Amino acid sequence: MKSFTYNAAASRIIFGVGAVKSLEAEIKRLGAERALVLSTPEQKSSAEQIASLLGPRSAGIFAQATMHVPIETARAARAVAQELKADCAVAIGGGSTTGLAKAISLESALPIIAIPTTYAGSEVTPIFGLTEGGIKKTGSDPKVIPRVVIYDPALTISMPMNLTLASGMNAIAHAAEGLYAEDSNPVISLIAEEGIRAMSAGLRRVGEAPDDMEVRSNCLYGAWLCGIVLGSVGVALHHKLCHTVGGSFNLPHAETHAVILPHAVGFNAPAVPDAMQRIARALGAPHAAQGLYDLGKSLRLPQSLQAIGMKSEDLDRAAELALQSPYWNPRPFTRGEVRELLGRAYDGLPPDA
């Protein structure tokens, strides 16, 4: 066994249907009294419900969270937190809302209680992103990790089905790359395999049974595990391609992950047979990359970059960008190989594994 370092985040996790009712007790436990409730404009009514649940412990609502945390929004939220003398932030929503809470905490060290309503996993990672002048910069700081995460599967039922499925594949991508990350370790590999198993099992059933709490619980449990992987070990070619392609050409975040994942995993397959075996076993499929492609197909997720808005004339530039400051990857790659991979993903072909 290779030597390894394992970092465990000190978050407190409350999981279960109806778990959101414990929010006030969790705020008290932190010694806080004035919570600023954060959401997107689309989920403002959820933020209002949270605020009314909290009564006097709610200091106010800031419902302007948006994708990729524009610096202007972060500054506005920081100012509101200060003005209202908030002593904690409650983020109800997906990665965009959690991201805004992290941007506040980065400057003020305000403790965050996250109530995730998608499968993005940001609530258990130290990773933050801020977008200034159209450029998204990411960083990592343990101080932005939410102190408490309340996973309530009932709150995920309202998630639109396309977001449910794409967000689930996004979570699987975190776990798949964690299995072959440069700093992978045996504990995280166990968590990653179980995360892929739980999430893929949940996703296979959620289309027919969107209100089934057992199914939703499986997905959210899987999302938590996959998020732990993202927060603990590095990522590789797949995430690099998603950040490059998604960020530079303004493609939808979770769908971009869903399209690229089988291709990136297929490319890496010869270099990391043990990781491939684990992914395949978790999916209950003979092959990892083809298994991921087939899962996306069976869920009727978009399978091509073309279908999610990429232009063929941008493929060369995307390959070029992917070669700039590349992430570590278990299999070295050339510009030509990345261009070919992106070409297959653009056309929606099965992975070349």
Binding site for ligand NAD (CB under 6 A): 40, 42-43, 67-68, 93-97, 99, 117-118, 120-122, 125, 127-129, 155-156, 158-159, 163, 167, 230, 253-254
- What is the number of the residue whose Cβ is closest to ligand NAD? 95
| Cβ distance to ligand NAD smaller for residue 247 or 333 | 247
Q: Would you say 120 or 241 has its CB closer to ligand NAD? A: 120
CB atoms within 10 A of CB 147: 18
Give the residue with the Cβ less far from ligand NAD, 145 or 342: 145
Q: How far is the CB of 69 from ligand NAD (least distance, A)?
A: 7
Neighbour-count burial for 248-281, b at 16+ CB within 10 Å, e otherwise? ebebbbbbbbbbbbbbbbbbbbeebeebbebbbe
Work out how close the CB of 349 gets to ligand NAD at its nearest, in angstroms, rounded to a whole number.
26
Assess contact for 116 and 171: CB atoms under 8 A. no
**Minimum CB–partner distance for residue 215 and ligand NAD (Å):** 15
Alpha carbon distance 105, 111 (integer Å)? 7
- Our CB check for ligand NAD shows the closer of 122 and 200 to be 122
What SS3 string covers 234-299?
A: CCCHHHHHHHHHHHHCCCCHHHHHHHHHHHHHHHHHHHCHHHHHHHHHHHCCCCHHHHHHHHHHHC
Nearer to ligand NAD, 111 or 121 (CB): 121
Q: Using CA atoms, how far apart are residues 310 and 265, in angstroms rounded to an integer?
A: 21
The CB-of-55 to ligand NAD minimum distance in angstroms stands at 23
DSSP bridge pairs for 150: 14
Q: How far is the CB of 337 from ligand NAD (least distance, A)?
A: 26
Shorter beta-carbon distance to ligand NAD: residue 95 or 344? 95
DSSP-assigned states of every residue in 14-57: EESTTGGGGHHHHHHHTT---EEEE--STTHHHHHHHHHHHGGG
Name the minimum Å distance from CB 242 to ligand NAD: 9
